[in-house]
Amino acid sequence: MIEEKIPNPNGELIETEISMGTVHPAALEPYRVRFFVEDEIIQEAEITIGVNHRGVERIMEGLPVEKANALTEKICGICSNSHTWNSVLTAEKGLNIDIPNRANYIRVIMGELERLHSHLLYLAHGSEVLGHETFSMRIFYIRETVMDLLDMIGGNRVQYGVSIIGGVRPRCELNEMRILKIETGLDQLESDITKFAERFKADPIVNSRIDGVGYLPPKQARKLAVTGPSLRACGFDYDIRTEMPQYDDFDFEVISLDTCDVKANLLMRVLESFESIKIIRQAIKNLPKGPIADRTWEMIDCDIIQSYIEVPRGICYHSYALENGRIRGSVIRTPSMSNIAAMQYAAIGNHITDGQLCIVQCDPCFTCTDRAFEIIEL
Amino acid sequence: MADITILYSIIGAIVTLFVCFIIGTFLPGVEKKYVHARIQQRIGPPVSSVGIMAPIKFAFKDNLEPHSPAPGLYKALPILSFLCVLLVLLFITPQMYSVALLSSVIAIIGLLKVEEIAYVLMGSLSKSIMSLSMRFPDLVKGAVHSDVVRSHIEDISSKRSLRMISYGSFPLYLSLFVPVVCSGSLYIGGIIKYQQIHGPFIFTTQGILAAFIFFIGYVILLNESPFNIIEAESDVIQGPYMEYISKYRSVIYLTKGLLMFTLAALFTIFFLGIPLNLFSWNILVYIIVALLFTLFMGILSAFTPVFTNRQFLPVVIVSTLIGVLAIVIGILI
């Protein structure tokens, strides 16, 4: 087993370069990767991001905090709820707002449903990059159950707009009919994911494509600040949900696997899906009575506030200061930022056909990640 | 009288080619609609869209000049491939059995090899915009390898095509030699005659082994998943076809359908001993075999991820060994 993957120093041995992107069918979003290869084996990889930069943080600057929170939802189409939740948490932390317990439970339910849909999307995309269209299609079908539940609670399949400062929106209230639908959906989902996982694990050809591919040594994963399921697939059982007060009432396990390859990353998402289902079941079973929003808070000025939460891909960071109810100095850091960089190392030593798979294994979200760019003087 | 016979033969061959071509255009659509889509529980495209409507659509699109060092040759290659497949189909029609030199295994393998070589040339002659170098040193993120020669992704596909020629197509050609060894004839007429006397090869031990590896070779030659390493979407995207648009792409689609039918027709002749006669019920056997091959290939590709060398080489080695075993059995029995 390689202890640490080291790129070729100053490249006398590099034979040729294969450049992929910024547009490539194996990538869901535009980015560029340069593979330096010898006989189709990757010796080094360089990933360049920045194509999706939209300057969300700059747009947030000076906006009223409620508007800015709504804007954060547009950062990502997959973890839109997580961004709003974290942005709202940042404001609540600065304004010392204690939200009703029922609202927190609804936020947790939404967060976990989003994790489910993100993990299933990841599995579908991973299968697509493997060239296994049938698996990909089947996972998309399984994911539809989650999408329907998200649609039912948030009113949309992508932008749910659930969290507001002080709680959740009135339309996201969970009545008995909705709770029953969630319960039925979760049963269906659990059965479907179990069947898929058994089929996936038993397929010898799929396993031969993913076993040992994209190995990222744990030492390097730690050094490169890999986060979320990608870190846990390298043997570290670190999940910031265990430290988040929002998850205090919930009992769940932090899954970790130690093979550090594509297979571990794929299985990690499957196993985490079961934990998410467990959390949602606890939330709907013990859903507290009472209001879902506290609108009695008052706006005050506050210095830089920071908030971290565990989103489907890892730790997400939001920070800003408040001045006359408006945002100042907004900084958002998504988990893909460090994960993508680490995948440059994971790709080393693999066949070029597996190159994209090695990068995709960290579930990269380039739209989320693109925050800053450098202007090159020509 | 002789003139009329020749005229009838020519008309018969042309009609056969035309009908087979029409049948062939439906096969890719059958695979997508009735195999892939059914397995994946989706509606799928209309059956005519892949093999018929797509070529018609592309034929009327505007063409763009490819970034190729030899654009003329590059553009001629799909037509060359199509002609090779058409000639294979022509040589297996009963009207051609009298021209023994052409209606032989050697001629068929030769033409299929030319079709394979076309992929190597397509890949090496394509320099698409997907991998063009920038006009300034590529130093983003403090890159350490700024002077490395950049390869076009079609080049990888070209190298892979070369490997396919050297060992990837072994299974198909070995399987074709099993009936040759058993019948002691290189000519299609001789092989059919032998089977009409002794029964189809498919019902012999060596015939079953050869039929199995023929199917593997069929999928490899068609560049279908899981053996589509020369056009794997995850790295080389479309591979040799990257820059073909308009009528050239249309020809590629037509070639695919025709090759599907032609290879199935080869199987019917070499393993069932039935001549390709349009004016008898034999044609139904050809259609059924073509549909069965399409069905099996569709099932295989729907349930298998794309192979890399790690999976591809063992499959080819094992298939080749089975092929050699089938030939040895054929010689001994």
- Nearest-by-CA chain B residue for A208: B311
Residues of A in Cβ contact (< 8 Å) with B309? 40, 351
Cα B172 from chain centre: 10
**Smallest Cβ distance to A354: which of B36, B144, B308?**
B308
Q: Give the mean pLDDT of A341-361.
A: 92
**pLDDT digits over A247-305, tens only?**
999 999 999 999 999 999 999 999 999 999 999 999 999 999 999 999 999 999 999 99
CB contact under 8 A, A36 and B145: yes
A46 at interface of B, judged by CB pairs closer than 8 A: yes
H or E stretch at A58: helix A56-60
For testing the chain B interface, which of A137, A266, A353, A354 should be mutated: the one with the most B CBs within 10 Å? A353
Predicted confidence at residue B138, as pLDDT, reads 64
Residue range A70-125, pLDDT digits in tens: 999 998 889 999 999 999 999 999 999 999 999 999 999 999 999 999 999 999 99
Mutation for A interface: B234, B299, B300, B306, most A CBs within 10 A: B234
Q: Are B289 and B272 in contact (CB under 8 A)?
A: yes
pLDDT digits (tens, 9 = 90+) for B102-153: 899 999 999 999 999 999 999 999 988 887 766 666 665 556 676 677 788 8
Express each pLDDT in B42-75 by its tens digit.
Answer: 999 999 999 999 999 999 999 988 989 999 999 9
Closest residue of chain A to B304, computed from CA coordinates:
A132
pLDDT tens digit sequence for B210-251: 999 999 999 999 999 899 999 888 888 888 998 999 999 999
Check the CA dihedral B164-B165-B168-B169 and report its sign. positive
Tokens 């609108």: give the residue. Answer: A295
The alpha carbon of residue A213 is apart from the nearest alpha carbon of chain B, in Å, by 11
pLDDT-based confidence at A6, cuts 50/70/90? low
Asked if pLDDT for residue A377 goes beyond 70, the answer is no
Which chain A residues in 119-158 lie under 8 Å from chain B, judged by CB atoms?
127, 129-134, 137-138, 141
Q: Are strands A326-333 and A167-168 parallel, antiparallel or unpaired?
A: unpaired
Q: What is the spatial distance between Cα A258 and Cα A177, in angstroms, rounded to a whole number?
A: 42
Shortest CA gap B183–chain A (Å): 38
pLDDT band at A374 (very low <50, low <70, confident <90, very high): very low
Chain B residues within an 8 Å CB radius of A45 = none
Q: What is the pLDDT of residues B274-331, one digit of tens each?
A: 999 888 889 999 999 999 999 999 999 999 999 998 899 999 999 999 999 999 999 9
The pLDDT of A155-167, averaged and rounded, is 94
Q: Tokens 């497949």 label which residue?
A: B85
Task: For A82-96, write each residue's pLDDT tens digit.
Answer: 999 999 999 999 999
Ranges A320-324, A327-331, A372-376, B305-309: which has the least confidence: A372-376
Q: Is the confidence metric ipTM above 0.95 for this complex?
A: no
R_g (Cα) of chain B, nearest Å: 21
Strands B150-151 and A16-20: parallel
- Cross-chain residue pair A24–B225, CB shorter than 8 Å: no
Is residue A19's pLDDT more than 90?
no
Interface of A with B in 323-362 (CB under 8 A): 351-357
The predicted pLDDT at position B6 comes to 82
pLDDT at A239 over 70: yes
Identify the pLDDT of residue A233: 96
Kindly determine whether residue A11 and residue B41, on different chains, have CB atoms separated by under 8 Å.
no
Q: What is the structure's pLDDT at A1? A: 42
Query: Cα separation of A171 and A163, whole Å?
Result: 11
Chain B residues touching A138 at Cβ < 8 A = 40-41
- pLDDT bracket for residue B2 (50, 70, 90): low
Packing angle, helices B71-91 and B2-30, rounded to 10: 110
Q: Give me the mean pLDDT over the B148-172 stretch.
A: 88
Instruction: Provide the number of CB pairs (under 8 Å) joining chain A to chain B.
Output: 117
User: What are the C-alpha distances in Å from A64 to residues A162, A239, A253?
Assistant: 18, 32, 39
Q: Which residue of B has its CA nearest to A376?
A: B140
B330: tokens are: 């054929």
Q: Which residue of B has its CA nearest to A44?
A: B145
Measured between CA atoms, how close is A11 to chain B, in angstroms? 6
| Res. B258 pLDDT band, cuts 50 70 90 | very high
Distance of CA B35 to the CA centre of its chain: 19
pLDDT, mean of residues A196-205: 93
Q: Which residues of chain A does B229 touch, with a Cβ-Cβ cutoff of 8 Å?
A: 353
Residues A301 and A323 sit within 8 Å (Cβ to Cβ): yes
Under the banding of pLDDT at 50, 70 and 90, the label for residue A7 is low
Cβ contact A205–B304 (<8 Å): yes
Is residue B38 pLDDT above 70, yes or no?
yes
Over residues B69-88, the pLDDT tens digits come to 999 999 999 999 999 999 99
pLDDT in tens, A36-83: 888 889 988 888 888 888 888 889 999 999 999 999 999 888 999 999
Q: Is the pLDDT of residue A201 over 60?
A: yes
